[in-house]
Amino acid sequence: MKKLIALLLATAMLVFSSCASGSAPAQAGNSAPASPEELSGTLTVMWLAGMTQTAVLKQMVESDFTKLYPNLKIQMDEVPNNEISQKALLEATSGASVYDVVMQAGTLPQLANINALEPLDSYIARDSFDISKMVDNGISFKGNYYGIPVRYDSFLLHYNATQFAEAGLDPDKPPTSWEEFETYGKALINSGHYGVSRGYGNNILAEAFVNTVYSLGGDICDSSNNPVYNNEIGFKALSILISELTDTKIVDQAATSWNYSEEIAGYLSGGTGMFIHYPARYVDSNNPEKSAIVGQSRVTSMFGQNVLTKGSYALIFKTSKNKDASWEFLKWLADAEVQKQVIKNGGDCNPTNLDVLNDPQMQAEYPVIAAIKGQFDRARTWPLLTQTDAIGTNMNKYMNMAATGAMGIQEALDASVADARQMLIDTGELAE
């Protein structure tokens, strides 16, 4: 795999070096913006599949965007979550110019580092676009903006108010610490439900771990990009997660093999009383096609010092031949009224425009927005490094081994950190 990535990166540099020696890119962002009527052709967009929000956006593109840009067509190709990052990298390194815009999460530094993305700074300045009104979920790299955020995925505490009441817990007083979280979980177990839905499979536990580290006031890397999550706080964080499985047993014992879809189903099926996850789960919980707990789920801000926030952003490929049109599409996605309409049409409640997050009416109508706003000042992203995605994959492997007893907790953390450090040394992001 390392040889494949090295080959892809080397190919990318050759492709973009040759592009740089040719003619200037079409539609550079420092020219005057074209009128809607002047923009024509087809924008090909790589978007994440399987989301309610994607379906809503596609409908709104057909009904709303095309009215604003009558000569512009948007083709949204849906790509599964486990394929979209690799497909974006292959698009970037091949020079194929198939896609204009791509939706990504966490890979911006990697793609920007190989010159695969169009910087947005000149477009922002040209159009006086107020980037300060957008949440920052990692949309810049080395001083340049490359992305417009389209999903603000901040970990929240979802809980089943009906099950709380059955367990003798006050639905109006959710847990405010890891100690209370464990106590509530035990009470739910005693009333016939699992306490929390959590997956311990081989590609999921890293995000829960990072969120727990942040909640305890810890870091993944220090200011020099040195991974430090095998310290005392990291040990406590992973111990909390694994003790839920092995000691207090407040999670389903089958969860050692659960990944993303299984842990979601564990909560939406009514099998568990609590779930730490993204805003979209609140929407799912009230969708009778997905949920057995319609009307029972509540959501509140995550407890702790800080909270993991990621989400997705829209990027323009450097090879796009429709850069101005792509930028207009990104601006449309960022518009506050568009984002409100996405939510009202049934899309996921994870807006990225602060005018939406700060809107009292939206907060009152959609409690999940109030929960996001309640922890906004404590939100932290993954470290903005080219190897963040690979480090997360590395974490998943070792933490699954710790959860299944194949390795001790400290042993797994030390091994994961050693691998992460070597990745960053190899890319020059950490001094040897």
pLDDT band, residue 172 (cuts 50/70/90): very high
8 has a pLDDT exceeding 60 = no
For residue 30, the model assigns a pLDDT of: 45
Mean pLDDT of the chain: 91
Q: Assign 361 a pLDDT band (cuts: 50, 70, 90).
A: very high
- Residue 1, pLDDT above cutoff 90: no
Q: What is the pLDDT of residues 280-313, one digit of tens each?
A: 999 999 999 999 999 999 999 999 999 999 889 9
pLDDT band for 31, please (50, 70, 90 cuts): low
Sign of the C-alpha dihedral computed for residues 110, 114, 118 and 124 taken in this order: positive
Using one digit for the tens of pLDDT, what is the confidence trace for 112-135?
Answer: 999 999 999 999 999 999 999 999
pLDDT at 52: 87
Residue 5 has pLDDT above 80, yes or no: no
Residue 15 has pLDDT above 90, yes or no: no
Query: What pLDDT is stored for residue 51 in this prediction?
Result: 86
Rounded to an integer, the average pLDDT of 35-56 is 91
Q: How confident is the model at residue 6 (pLDDT cuts 50, 70, 90)?
A: very low
Reported confidence tier of residue 111, pLDDT bands at 50, 70, 90: very high
Residue 328 confidence class, pLDDT cut points 50, 70, 90: very high
pTM: 0.89
pLDDT bucket at 106, cuts 50 / 70 / 90: confident
Q: Tokens 């450090």 belong to which residue?
A: 421
**In this model, does residue 21 exceed pLDDT 70?**
no
pLDDT confidence bin for 81, thresholds 50/70/90: confident
Q: Is the pLDDT of residue 14 over 50?
A: no
Cα–Cα separations (whole angstroms), residue 35 to 69, 71, 230, 298, 328: 9, 11, 54, 45, 10
Mean pLDDT, to the nearest integer, of 351-365?
A: 97
Instruction: Read off the pLDDT of residues 374-422 as tens digits, 9 standing for 90 and up.
Output: 999 999 999 999 999 999 999 999 999 999 999 999 999 999 999 999 9
Where residue 215 falls among pLDDT bands split at 50, 70, 90? Answer: very high
Model confidence at 326: pLDDT above 80: yes
In the chain, % of residues over pLDDT 70 = 93
Residue-level pLDDT at 97: 87
The pLDDT confidence band at residue 61, using thresholds 50, 70 and 90, is: very high
Residue with the larger pLDDT of the pair 137 and 232: 232
Q: Span 227-233, mean pLDDT?
A: 98
Please give the domain boundaries of the chain with CATH numbers for all domains. 2-151+312-349 (3.40.190.10), 156-309+384-426 (3.40.190.10)
